[in-house]
Amino acid sequence: MEIEPLAALRRRESVKWRAYPGDVLPLFVAEMDYPVAEPIREAIAARVAASDLGYAFAPGRMGAAFAGFAERHWGWAVDPAAVRTTTDVSVAIVETLRRAIRPGDGVVITPPIYPPFFDLVPEAGGRVVEVPLLDDGTAWDLDVEGISAALVNGARAVLIANPHNPLGMLSRRLGELAEVAARHGAVVVSDEIHAPLVHAGETFTPFLSVSDAARAVGVTVTSASKAFNIAGTKCALMVAGSAATLALLDGMWDEVTFRTSLLGLHANLAAFECGDAWLADAVAEIEASSARLVGLLAEHLPGVGYRPPAASYLAWLDFRGLPEWGDDPAGLALTRGVALNPGPTFGTQGRGFARLNLACSADVLEEAVRRLAAAAPKLSP
Ligand SMILES: Cc1ncc(COP(=O)(O)O)c(C=O)c1O
């Protein structure tokens, strides 16, 4: 995949390239430096050429397009009639939770976790109940017993990221989670926005494919936006697994669907219907970048821990072995010209961590690690 040189990337208007001064390497927000997939470019250009920038007719053929993608990639049989669309995945989470809970109800999240989850729960009227992931020293997973205890104590919903952001983790405990949620009558919202980016040799399990219990309690929210780098086009999907959860989606205000962007809808259709070749290249690029990071850290920052993700392009860097980096290593990194996501914004479990975006060129990654190594003058005597 041909990645544009930095000077060209810096002409982009997205937050990644506008948030920091021009000498900073932006490896924070989850945007990719890759060129947009040709089918998506054509789909958007076709709508513009036709002066076709009105309201979307949604979901249109999105159900069938996503069902085809889910079947090809994960062997998951999605009922096309159970797919709805909205503005973005954040809105999908908020509106699903809003229907699933009453104001003030507890909603479980599993830190360290994508920071907006801490805001989306109260935006939906809920109260955050943290059940941190368990770490056995080599792998993370959901604390299903902890989630069960939270549900016993009254929490009414569980919001997971599957695959997990920032860890790129694929949980092995989704079946148990579904059982526990079904037992307590809780809804599980499974955010699967990173799922198209599962790495070679890894298996992604869609939550709704796990069991009848999962289909009874689960709503999947997703989009092509993360995997194809089209977040600015604004379209996301909500998928129900049962009559009860479909009724929940159909109980939303009509405006939730009406706010789907027409350009977003067509960009997502192009991605799901014609994006497989581009996606395979992108995943290979990410895997190479992750392997490169392993080597660069060993050479320049050997004290930093890194477990390569099983999916997506986020690297969760553990600086705790180097106390001079403090609770928020991203702060020191920024003073040396590298923008990372601060670990503590992912929850208290993120103290001493920072998140790095791997979807960049080899040159940018190498320069970033060199700058980080220079940012730690106290490391060497
Ligand atoms: C797990 C997860 N969910 C949701 C989002 C945001 O999605 P959207 O822009 O569609 O709201 C992100 C963005 O990085 C994410 O990582």
Q: Is 381 part of a structural domain of the chain? A: no
Q: Is 1 part of a structural domain of the chain? A: no
Looking up residue 224, the CATH number of its domain turns out to be 3.40.640.10
Percentage of the chain exceeding pLDDT 70: 98
Same domain? 245 vs 288: no
- Two structure tokens written together for 364: 């940018």
Closest CA to 354 of 115, 138, 16: 115
The pLDDT confidence band at residue 379, using thresholds 50, 70 and 90, is: very low
Q: Is 260 part of a structural domain of the chain? A: yes
Looking up residue 364, the CATH number of its domain turns out to be 3.90.1150.10
The Cα 108–Cα 156 span in angstroms is: 8
The Cα 46–Cα 263 span in angstroms is: 10
Global confidence as pTM: 0.97
Question: What pLDDT is recorded for position 64?
Answer: 98
In the predicted model, what is the mean pLDDT of residues 102-118?
Answer: 98
Reply yes or no on whether the pLDDT at 377 is more than 90. Answer: no
Question: How confident is the model over 41-59, as pLDDT tens digits?
Answer: 999 999 999 999 999 999 9
**Residue that is last in its domain, among 274, 293, 316:** 274
Question: What pLDDT is recorded for position 376?
Answer: 60
Any atom of ligand 1 within 6 Å of the Cβ of 109: no
Reply yes or no on whether the pLDDT at 380 is more than 80. Answer: no
> Phi/psi class of residue 104: alpha, beta or left (left: φ > 0; alpha: ψ in -120 to 50)?
left
| CA–centroid distance, residue 324 to ligand 1 (Å) | 32
**Residue that is last in its domain, among 215, 247, 274:** 274
Protein residue closest via CA to atom 13 of ligand 1: 30
Question: How confident is the model over 173-211, as pLDDT tens digits?
Answer: 999 999 999 999 999 999 999 999 999 999 999 999 999
**Residue that is last in its domain, among 274, 293, 315:** 274
Domain enclosing residue 74, as ranges = 40-274
| Total number of domains constituting the chain | 2
Question: How confident is the model over 125-159, as pLDDT tens digits?
Answer: 999 999 999 999 999 999 999 999 999 999 999 99
Question: How confident is the model over 255-312, as pLDDT tens digits?
Answer: 999 999 999 999 999 999 999 999 999 999 999 999 999 999 999 999 999 999 999 9
Same domain? 372 vs 269: no
Same domain? 213 vs 120: yes
Reply yes or no on whether the pLDDT at 381 is more than 70. Answer: no
Any atom of ligand 1 within 6 Å of the Cβ of 161: yes
Protein residue closest via CA to atom 16 of ligand 1: 165
Same domain? 345 vs 329: yes
Question: What pLDDT is recorded for position 262?
Answer: 98
Same domain? 128 vs 194: yes
Any atom of ligand 1 within 6 Å of the Cβ of 225: yes
In the predicted model, what is the mean pLDDT of residues 316-321?
Answer: 98
Q: Is 356 part of a structural domain of the chain? A: yes
The Cα 106–Cα 96 span in angstroms is: 14
